[in-house]
Structure 1
């Protein structure tokens, strides 16, 4: 069972690719939701007010994948899909790549545009640090304070990460574990007397 995915660690530095006078500025950003895309595009519009196209593609998710490719006025499939093709080629997710084009006076044709957007996206991603992350499952464990030592011992033994905790007479701890270990962790806590475990929604 695969429980890891690749993404980029930090936003890339701005890259510049030139083709027949046109300038293609490339950027890559780590994102986790669609809502993050619009503010990034708006910021790039302010940074490059003379640009004519702000084309982008993104992919989000590790098991359920969602993606979008946007040509922003370029001929259909000449910008967004070549950018998305590079996201796939680098096997990364939770990643947004934006290419900003400043027109140089010479038309490139659809073939030229595809090559230019693909190349700019490739250079942007080559300038990124790609990291592997685990797919984690979150559980909520509920128990009385008297069972604290029992719970903490298992958390320590199984090297589980505590995300949140509420320690009162009745306690609740949110833990996370790698997907491949999730069933085993659930079964251990589920078999204990006076301790409840459930998957976090």
Structure 2
């Protein structure tokens, strides 16, 4: 599995005005180039009367695929600065489209770079960005007398509990960062002296908003 990476969880819109020209940034989470291109086309249709719809996107957990377009603006004044914003923020699987409505005043190459950079940054700040962390899904079965110890252990480590099932024994599913798997297995062994039944069910990525679990995606 890859290392932790950042992406847009919920994309949003932001707008700046520079010498009466409007720059409208729209961001979205995408997981393929096809999704990115489809989103770009959606924005083009929405702002069909705009002079420019410039874009940039990074696809892959390590930003393996990067593309950008100036869409008629002078070369290197729009798409590349926007791409630099995405890569500088460490964003993966993200597309940004900045729409420009011309205000009648030429900005020059330097002015365009600054405007498109500022618009893309405003879009990132308006969006909800999360960090996806490689994780292991544990299933641990303990007795009713042991459940308090297990829950205390999970609370100490700040792990996200997915679900609990109270039957003959108590089964608890929870997430452990991949880097902490070995230490967690050791602590479970020591805490329950080998009596707890432990199983690794899945590998994937999780993200949190504070203490709230936003998602757990299984690794494909």
Superposed pair shares fold, TM > 0.5:
yes
After superposing the two structures, state which structure 1 stretch, 116-125 or 127-136, moved more: 127-136
Quote the Cα distance in structure 2 between the aligned partners of 1:59 and 1:71: 13
Q: Is the 8 A contact 1:55 1:80 kept in 2?
A: yes
Q: Kindly provide the CA deviation profile for residues 19-38 of structure 1, in whole angstroms up to 9, marking residues without a partner as x.
A: 5x754212344x36347645
Distance 1:180 1:140, change over 3 A: closer
TM-align CA RMSD: 4.2
Kindly indicate whether residue 16 of structure 2 is the aligned counterpart of residue 16 of structure 1.
Answer: yes
Structure 2 residues not aligned, in runs of 5+: 204-220
Question: Partner residue of 2:214?
Answer: none
Q: Aligned-pair distance for 1:154?
A: 1.8
Cα separation, partners in 2 of 1:134 and 1:59, compared to 1, 3 Å: same
Question: How far apart are 1:117 and its partner, in Å?
Answer: 2.0
Q: Secondary structure at the match of 1:181?
A: helix
Cα pair 1:56 1:96 within 8 Å, conserved: yes
The 3-state SS of whatever aligns with 2:180 is: helix
SS of aligned partner of 2:48: coil
Tell me which residue corresponds to 2:150: 154
Cα distance in 1, alignment partners of residues 13 and 104 from structure 2: 26
SS in 2 for 1:158: helix
SS at match of 2:146: helix
Where does residue 128 of structure 1 map in the other structure?
Answer: 126
Match of 1:55 in 2: 54
| Separation (CA, whole Å) in 2 of partners of 1:36 and 1:17 | 29
Q: Does the 8 Å contact 1:7/1:132 carry over to 2?
A: yes
Superposition deviation, residue 121 in structure 1? 1.5
CA change 1:171–1:70 in 2 (3 A) is farther
**Structure 1 counterpart SS, 2:66:** strand
Q: Can you list the C-alpha shifts for 1:48-88, whole angstroms capped at 9, x where unaligned?
A: 11134432234467x74445232064465443221121234
Q: Distance in 1 between matches of 2:171 and 2:53?
A: 47
Q: What is aligned with 1:196? A: 198
Q: CA deviation at 1:118?
A: 1.9
Q: TM-score under structure 1 normalisation?
A: 0.64
1:164 and 1:85 map into 2 onto residues whose CA distance is 41
Q: Evaluate the alpha carbon distance shift between residue 197 and residue 132 of structure 1 in structure 2; reply closer, same or farther with a 3 A threshold.
A: same
Q: Partners of 1:157 and 1:194 in 2: how far apart?
A: 13
In 2: Cα distance, 1:151 partner to 1:33 partner: 39
Aligned length: 193
Distance 1:23 1:194, change over 3 A: closer
Name structure 1 gaps, 5 residues minimum.
none
- For the 8 Å contact 2:85–2:121, the answer to whether it is kept is yes
* Greater share of strand: 2
